[in-house]
Amino acid sequence: MDTTLIQSHAPIFALVGLGFLLGGGYSLVSGTVSIARRLNISLLFVSLVTISIGTSLPELAVSLDAALIKKPDIALGNVVGSNIANILLVLGVSALIRPLVFSRKVIKFDSMVMVAASLVFFIFTLAWLDSLPNWIGGVFIATLATFIIISYRVKEVAPATSPERLYHEQEARKFDDTSGMSHFITLTLLGIVGVVLGAWFFVDSAATIARDLGVSEAAIGLTMVAVGTSLPELVTALIATYRKETQVILGNVIGSNIFNVLGVLGATLLVAGKEISPNNFFGDMIIFLLVTLAVTPFLFRFGRIGKLAGGVFLLGYVAYVDWVYTTTPLMFWD
């Protein structure tokens, strides 16, 4: 398809691309989970690997596509903006509807990894403000693989009735199906096509919208693109809130934030080389770290995010978006 067609109808293709991303991601997760189950792979492993990666597929596809077509600010802005949106927007909206009560024990290890990954990411950006080297991507990917292996081994030896194990196995069952193998393979392939096409449409449209509005690609990546790729977490959170499954909300947000930093950014750095520069995101990185640290008392001590905190989170996100557009200089395109 000619990119000029996408650019001339950017808002429409942005919505189409987002639909392909979300639908393709769900199909891919459903297909791979069902295939894994037919191959007698444990529910625990399926949940830790397939679902944790699958729910962040929109972020991964968009950042990789943006890096490949030389839109590094969209690639990095998507990661930073998605993690901020996951905490302030997703948790904020959910807690405002219904207080989030959860088991600290179930999410303790994952919460520690999320905070540690965020701190390391922040330190790396301070050390390499002009451009992040490729090897950091390799370190992040290796760390993600280690995290998955450790998580699996820790939870595997836990009793079958332990909260951690039951939570992950319950998540995997939601995506399982009883159809035949050919159906699952088709579902998986369609999911891959949907994610790839969706990323192409969405990124190209986002860049065009940024140019038309006269704002930077960084601002669009931090807000429009980030919220778009965080929609799976938001939709899942709203459904889980309605069902009173608040543990699911925390698990999805924490897992997504870990994978965004270690997996999405790691893969993007390996592909983009030295194209990724944190220099344009210094203020956003500080906010990213502060937001992550702000949620830690709720995760480690309180075990509850009430409506007041949810309202503060949501107002914080509105203020952040306003700050992005008021502090980002207007861009004048040729």
In the chain, the domains with their CATH numbers are 3-327 (1.20.1420.30)
Report the Cα 86 to chain-centroid distance in Å: 8
In percent, the amount of the chain with pLDDT more than 90 equals 26
**Is the pLDDT score of 138 beyond 70?**
yes
The residue with greater pLDDT, 157 or 271, is 271
Rounded mean pLDDT of 196-200? Answer: 71
pLDDT of residue 334: 42
Is pLDDT above 90 for 120? yes
Distance CA 298, CA 307 (A): 13
Consecutive H or E run containing 305: strand 304-305
Spatial separation of the C-alpha atoms in residues 116 and 124, rounded to whole Å: 12
Whether 166 has a pLDDT exceeding 70, the answer reads no
